[in-house]
């Protein structure tokens, strides 16, 4: 079990949630151990983030009910048997775990179905189940069709949870600072050991070692690749070649499950070529400008477009784009090189609360998702508020198949100099990413500053023999 905040933190959060919801029964399923290749050989356990937020407990196979009408909160779970104790050691009784987070009632797991059946005439709220075992459990508990259970999830509960988890308490920001400092160690360790001939695997192993040693592990599978243009490239079976760029997008989950998410890109041989430097400086400027614009009240969509304009202007200055920059961005021409969004909220999940629905997290009545290629991938558009933590992660990528497709179709050809792109097809991609908290007066980049300028990177890469 991971550390807990004081029990009043969880009591207060549950009270706030109950007030927001007004009435009904709220059911939360914690996660279960999940087998990899046979029942007793499981993936590392990860508790559900809503469960962590409201109930703190990071042991598997728990559930909880907040019965608003009856003013009861109940933790459901089974005390360890002697067999459990022999194989995995003892664990406090469920009633003791409940007391640790301010809950005075507990029951065996089998009673949960009885509780919900007895109260089936009342409104029962639950969140969308992203794990298949919990989808089946929820369907069985409520006697519904498993294929339809997620359609019955409570939008009202999703919105209430999102409204709370979006605004981080100071204690949460402190935990995120710790996770960011851990990411500093991870990124600088890899940078220092980056050299031509080292394998990507070796570096991934180093990064994972840091993550496991400092926190609870990585906050998502490490992206470490000389093919930065492949966003989620997790194939690391290759050695570092001279003259390439290495992109590492990685973060650590701290001891209280708060996440970090940083990306750095640097030359495998420790020295940027002029061509690499030219593109790098554009991405860095988009990152720094984006961070500068992070301020309460500003729609994050505007920050995204400001970064996109810097990308388009920079590429125009290099002769790769042309035409009016604002118009190019409005029509989505920059997305040939920057087809993802500028960032997302981060917290207990690296893409925070994505399991509750991206559109509820990043959009609202004021901002609706675009259907333009590239811009439609923006996860976060709405106005920033103090306490939000977001990533700022612009990039420039040369994706050969995408370039080929646009060129063949003549797509947005008024804005792209396709004839100049031939020599960039093996360039790869660059992304620079930081985690930024919105403060009452502006913003704060979390964690110790990971080398980011050309000079800082060149002074760090490959320095460990
Ligand atoms: N690695 C996923 C992200 O940066 O959002
Ligand atoms: Mn990332
Ligand atoms: Mn990110």
Number of H helices, E strands in the chain: 15, 17
- Cβ burial of 210 (10 Å; 0-12, 13-18, 19+) is buried
pLDDT band at 350 (very low <50, low <70, confident <90, very high): very high
CA-220 nearest atom, ligand 1: 1
First to last CA, the chain: 38
Tell me the DSSP string of 196-247. Answer: TT-BHHHHHHHHHHHHHHHSSEESS--EEES-TTSTT-----SBPPTT-EEE
Ligand that lies nearest to the alpha carbon of residue 390, given by its number in the listed order: 3
**Reported CATH class of domain 170-460:** alpha beta
C-beta separation of 329 from 309 below 8 A = yes
Give the helix/strand (H/E) hosting 176.
Answer: helix 170-193
**Nearest residue to 186 (alpha-carbon basis) of 226, 219, 232:** 219
Residues with Cβ within 8 Å of 122's Cβ and at least 6 positions away in sequence, in order, are 24, 25, 69
- Does the pLDDT at position 348 exceed 90? yes
Tokens of 189: 């360790």
Residues with Cβ within 8 Å of 249's Cβ and at least 6 positions away in sequence, in order, are 222, 223, 224, 261, 262, 263, 431, 433
Rounded to the nearest angstrom, the distance between the alpha carbon of 148 and the centre of ligand 2 is 33
Count CA atoms closer than 13 A to 331's CA, side-chain side. Answer: 12
CA 126/CA 228 separation, integer angstroms: 39
C-beta separation of 316 from 337 below 8 A = no
DSSP β-ladder status, 41-42 and 63-67: unpaired
DSSP β-ladder status, 72-76 and 63-67: antiparallel
- Does the pLDDT at position 96 exceed 80? yes
Rounded to the nearest angstrom, the distance between the alpha carbon of 222 and the centre of ligand 2 is 9
Using left for φ > 0, alpha for ψ between -120 and 50, and beta otherwise, residue 22 falls in left
C-beta separation of 249 from 346 below 8 A = no
Rounded to the nearest angstrom, the distance between the alpha carbon of 190 and the centre of ligand 2 is 16
Domain range annotation of the chain: 7-165, 170-460
CA 218/CA 131 separation, integer angstroms: 20
* Interval 256-284: pLDDT, tens: 999 999 999 999 999 999 999 999 999 99
Ligand that lies nearest to the alpha carbon of residue 234, given by its number in the listed order: 1
CA 16/CA 362 separation, integer angstroms: 22
- Does the pLDDT at position 81 exceed 80? yes
Residues with CB under 5 A from ligand 3 (ion): 261, 391
* Interval 45-57: pLDDT, tens: 999 999 999 999 9
Instruction: Note the pLDDT of residue 164.
Output: 98
Q: Is 73 helix (H, G, I), strand (E, B) or coil?
A: strand
The shares of helix, strand and coil residues in the chain, as percent rounded to the nearest 5, are: 40, 15, 45
Mean pLDDT along residues 80-109: 96
Distance of CA 368 to CAs 306, 342, 364, 378, 388, Å?
18, 16, 7, 11, 19
CA 207/CA 192 separation, integer angstroms: 12
* Interval 352-406: pLDDT, tens: 999 999 999 999 999 999 999 999 999 999 999 999 999 999 999 999 999 999 9
**Nearest residue to 390 (alpha-carbon basis) of 326, 427, 443, 426:** 443
Ligand 1 site, residue 67, Cβ cutoff 6 A: no
CA 387/CA 343 separation, integer angstroms: 16
CA 302/CA 176 separation, integer angstroms: 25
Mutate which of 304, 389, 433 for ligand 1 pocket (most atoms within 8 A of beta carbon): 433
Mutate which of 220, 228, 264, 354 for ligand 1 pocket (most atoms within 8 A of beta carbon): 220
Mutate which of 261, 361, 389, 390 for ligand 1 pocket (most atoms within 8 A of beta carbon): 261
**Reported CATH class of domain 7-165:** alpha beta
CA 161 to the chain's CA centroid: 17
CA 79/CA 93 separation, integer angstroms: 5
Instruction: Note the pLDDT of residue 1.
Output: 84
Ligand 1 site, residue 175, Cβ cutoff 6 A: no
Rounded to the nearest angstrom, the distance between the alpha carbon of 123 and the centre of ligand 1 is 37
In this prediction, what percent of the chain has a pLDDT beyond 90? 98
CA 186/CA 285 separation, integer angstroms: 24
CA-232 nearest atom, ligand 1: 1
User: Mean pLDDT across the chain, nearest whole number?
Assistant: 97
C-beta separation of 356 from 130 below 8 A = no
Tokens of 84: 């459990």
Ligand 1 site, residue 249, Cβ cutoff 6 A: yes
Instruction: Note the pLDDT of residue 234.
Output: 81
CA 358/CA 379 separation, integer angstroms: 6
Distance of CA 427 to CAs 272, 349, 405, Å?
12, 32, 18
CA 260/CA 177 separation, integer angstroms: 8
Mean pLDDT along residues 279-291: 98
C-beta separation of 436 from 291 below 8 A = yes
* Interval 429-451: pLDDT, tens: 999 999 999 999 999 999 999 99
Instruction: Note the pLDDT of residue 4.
Output: 98
Mean pLDDT along residues 147-156: 98
* Interval 185-241: pLDDT, tens: 999 999 999 999 999 999 999 999 999 999 899 999 999 999 999 999 888 889 999
- Does the pLDDT at position 465 exceed 90? no
Rounded to the nearest angstrom, the distance between the alpha carbon of 322 and the centre of ligand 2 is 30
Instruction: Note the pLDDT of residue 237.
Output: 87
- Does the pLDDT at position 33 exceed 80? yes
């Amino acid at each position: 079990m991971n550390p807990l905040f004081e029990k009043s933190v969880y009591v207060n959060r549950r009270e706030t949630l109950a007030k927001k919801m007004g009435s009904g029964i709220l059911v939360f399923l914690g996660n279960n151990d999940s087998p990899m290749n046979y029942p007793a050989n499981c993936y590392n356990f990860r508790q559900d983030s809503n469960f962590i937020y409201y109930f703190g407990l990071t042991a598997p196979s728990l559930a909880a009910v907040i019965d608003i009408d009856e003013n009861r909160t109940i933790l459901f779970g089974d005390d360890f048997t002697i067999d459990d104790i022999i194989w995995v050691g003892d664990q406090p009784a469920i009633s003791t775990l409940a007391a640790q987070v301010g809950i005075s009632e507990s029951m065996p797991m089998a009673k949960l179905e009885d509780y919900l059946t007895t109260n089936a005439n009342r409104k029962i709220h639950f969140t969308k189940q992203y794990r298949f075992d919990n989808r089946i459990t929820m369907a069985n508990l409520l006697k519904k069709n498993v294929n339809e259970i997620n359609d019955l999830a409570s939008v009202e509960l999703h919105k209430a949870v999102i409204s709370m988890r979006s605004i981080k308490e100071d204690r949460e920001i402190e935990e995120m600072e710790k996770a960011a400092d851990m990411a500093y160690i991870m990124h600088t360790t890899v940078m220092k050991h980056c050299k031509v001939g080292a394998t990507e695997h070796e570096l991934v192993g180093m990064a994972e070692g840091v993550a496991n040693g400092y926190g609870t592990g990585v906050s998502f599978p490490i992206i470490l690749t000389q093919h930065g243009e492949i966003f989620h490239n997790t194939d690391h079976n290759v050695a570092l070649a001279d003259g390439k760029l290495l992109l590492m997008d990685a973060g650590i989950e701290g001891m209280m499950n708060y996440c970090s998410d940083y990306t750095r890109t640097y030359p495998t041989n420790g020295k940027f070529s002029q061509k690499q430097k030219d593109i790098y400086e554009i991405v860095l400027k988009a990152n720094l400008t984006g961070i500068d614009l992070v301020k309460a009240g500003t729609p994050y969509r505007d920050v995204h477009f400001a970064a996109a304009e810097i990308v388009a202007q920079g590429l125009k200055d290099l002769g790769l784009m042309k035409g009016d920059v604002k118009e190019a961005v409005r029509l989505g021409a920059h997305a040939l090189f920057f087809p993802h969004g500028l960032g997302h909220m981060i917290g207990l999940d690296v893409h925070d609360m994505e399991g509750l629905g991206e559109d509820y997290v990043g959009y609202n009545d004021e901002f609706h998702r675009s259907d333009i290629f590239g811009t439609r991938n923006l996860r976060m558009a709405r106005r920033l508020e103090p306490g939000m933590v977001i990533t700022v992660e612009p990039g420039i990528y040369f994706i050969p198949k995408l370039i080929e497709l646009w060129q063949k179709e003549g797509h947005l050809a008024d804005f792209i100099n396709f004839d100049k792109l031939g020599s960039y097809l093996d360039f790869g991609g660059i992304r620079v990413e930081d985690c930024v908290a919105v403060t009452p007066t502006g913003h704060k980049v979390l964690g110790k500053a990971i080398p980011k300028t050309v000079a800082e990177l060149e002074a760090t890469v490959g320095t460990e023999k």
